[in-house]
């Protein structure tokens, strides 16, 4: 099992009580206190995934459960006509985010906002990052949205990067939400309540003839922290 390097500081801080107890407390307490750093390490697990290569398929950008799948909600999508899939990530889900489709990153925007619980209807106004991908001429937009606990987002792509389907693009720390927006001509393949897996579960299919074929390669960058405030 691989783990994201962003886990390092959190695991070390969580391990301090166990380390102190090892010198000053009983052995059983040290062992019990190790549960916290181990749980945090598991939160940052980074399993490999195998993405479908069909260019008409749009993949889930996150592990979690679909909160909404349908036409773009009022005031939530970018300008234009879109279909929307919203995914909630619990503390027990893998929090590595992945590209929903291959293509070139054309825009990465940080948008300040609130810190409402990610499962609330108005959480779309929370602090977030928005990543635009030109998928063979079709625009795909994915958003990393913070919640009450997830107040930091790691975004590892920048404009000009070329990414493959299911490529790692970052992560959200400690519970959050992700949105993916596809053109209104796309057909959604998931429904509310369905569990999804990042980089593998197909959430939408593009209309036939809407894409232009091309080559893509995975590009992964040094983490860029999107800080609150």
For residue range 12-21, what is the model confidence (pLDDT) as tens digits? 888 888 788 7
Q: Let me know: does 160 contact 86? Beta carbons within 8 Å.
A: no
Contact 76, 145 (CB under 8 A): no
C-alpha–C-alpha distance, residues 215 and 194, integer Å: 31
| Residues with a known catalytic role | 176
Domain ranges of the chain: 7-43, 57-226
What band does 114 get if pLDDT is binned at 50, 70 and 90? low
Architecture of the domain made up of 57-226: Distorted Sandwich (2.70)
List the beta strands (DSSP E) in 3-119: 57-59, 64-71, 82-89, 96-98, 103-111
> pLDDT per residue over 122-153, tens digit each?
666 677 889 999 999 999 999 998 766 655 77
DSSP strands (E only) in 112-186: 128-135, 138-145, 153-155, 162-163, 168-172, 176-183
**What predicted TM-score, i.e. pTM, was given to this entire model?**
0.83
Find the mean pLDDT for residues 46-73. 94
Characterize 142-158 residue by residue with b for buried, 16 or more Cβ atoms within 10 angstroms of its Cβ, and e for exposed: bbbbbbbebbbbbbbbe
Kindly list the distances between the CA atom of residue 189 and the CA atoms of 57, 58, 89, in Å, as whole numbers in the listed order: 10, 9, 19
């Amino acid at each position: 099992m691989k783990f994201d390097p962003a886990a390092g500081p959190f695991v070390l801080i969580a391990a301090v009580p166990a380390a102190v107890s090892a010198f000053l407390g009983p052995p059983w307490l040290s062992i019990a206190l190790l549960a916290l750093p181990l749980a945090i390490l598991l939160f940052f697990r980074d399993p490999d995934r195998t993405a479908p290569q069909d260019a008409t398929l749009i993949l889930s950008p996150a592990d979690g459960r679909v909160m909404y799948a349908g036409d773009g909600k009022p005031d939530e999508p970018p300008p234009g006509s879109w279909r929307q899939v919203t995914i909630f990530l619990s503390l027990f889900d893998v929090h590595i985010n992945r590209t929903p489709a291959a293509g070139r990153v054309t825009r990465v925007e940080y948008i300040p906002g609130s810190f409402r619980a990610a499962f609330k209807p108005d959480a779309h106004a929370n602090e977030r990052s928005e990543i635009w991908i030109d998928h063979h001429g079709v625009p795909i937009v994915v958003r990393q949205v913070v919640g009450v606990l997830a107040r930091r987002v790691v975004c590892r792509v920048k404009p000009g990067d070329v990414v493959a389907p299911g490529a790692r693009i970052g992560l959200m720390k400690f519970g959050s939400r992700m949105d993916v927006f596809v053109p209104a001509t796309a057909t959604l393949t998931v429904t509310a309540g369905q569990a999804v897996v990042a980089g593998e579960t197909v959430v939408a299919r593009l209309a036939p003839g809407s894409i232009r074929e091309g080559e893509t390669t995975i590009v992964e960058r040094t983490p860029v922290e999107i800080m609150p405030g």
